[in-house]
Amino acid sequence: MVRLNLLLLLVVMLCSLGVVTSQHKARQLFQELDVQHERTRQLEVEFGQLQLELSTWGTAPRIEKIAVEKLGMRTPDAETLLPTAPTGGASR
C-alpha cells in the first residue's frame, strides 16, 4: 500500500513538473509568435512605404521628363504616324 502511494506521488510530481515546463515553453513560444506578429506589421508598413516610393518614382511627369531630357525622345507628329488596323483593313 505504502509503495503504491509513493509511486503515485512520484507520478504526480513528474506530471506537475511537466506542466510547469510546458507552460514555460508555451510562454516562450507565445513571445516568439508576438515578435513575429510585430515583424509582420513592420513589413506591411515597409511594403506600403515601398509602394509609395514605387509610385513616386513611376509618376508619368517624371518618366516624361527623363525621356525628353535625358534620352532625347519625343512624341511623333500626327503626319508621321500610320495607323494600322489589326484585322486587315479598317473595321467599319
Partner 1 sequence: MMRFKAKVAHKFAESPLLELRLPAWRSRLMALLILFSFVVLIGRAFYLQILDTDFLQEKGESRYRRDIEITASRGRIADRHGDVLAISTPMRSIWAVPPAVQLSAEQTQQLATLLETDAQALTRKLTTDKPFVFLRRQIPPPVAAQVAALKLPGIGQDKEYRRFYPTGEMTAHMVGFTGVDDRGLEGAELAFHGKLLGTPGSRSVIKDRRGQIVEEDVGAIKPPQDGEDINLALDSKVQYLVYSQLKQAIADSKAKAGGVVVLDARTGEILALANWPTYNPNNRTDLSGAQLRNRALTDTFEPGSTLKPFTIALAMDSGKVRFDTPINCAPGRLRIGTATISDTHRYGVLSVAEVIQKSSNVGASKIAAMLPAQAMWAMFDGVGFGQVPALGFPGAVSGRVRPWKTWRPIEQATMSFGHGISVSLIQLARAYTVFARDGDLVPLSLTRVASPRPRGEQVFSPQTAREVRAMLEMAVRPGGTAPRAQIPGYRVAGKTGTARKLEGGRYSTKKYVASFVGFAPASDPRLVVAVMIDEPRGKYYGGEVAAPVFAAVMAGTLRTLGIAPDAPLEVAQSAKPATKARL
Which positions lie near partner 1, rule CB under 8 A?
27, 30-31, 34, 45, 48-49, 51-52, 54-56, 58-61, 64, 78-79, 81-87, 90-92
Query: Following DSSP, what letter does each residue of the chain receive, concatenated?
Result: -HHHHHHHHHHHHHHHHHHHHHHHHHHHHHHHHHHHHHHHHHHHHHHHHHHHHHHHHT-HHHHHHHHHHTS---PPPGGG-----TTSS---
The residue (of 72 and 86) whose beta carbon lies closer to partner 1 is 86
The residue (of 27 and 39) whose beta carbon lies closer to partner 1 is 27
Cβ 14 to partner 1 shortest distance, Å: 24
Cβ 79 to partner 1 shortest distance, Å: 8
Identity (one letter) of the amino acid at 12? Answer: V
Cβ 12 to partner 1 shortest distance, Å: 25
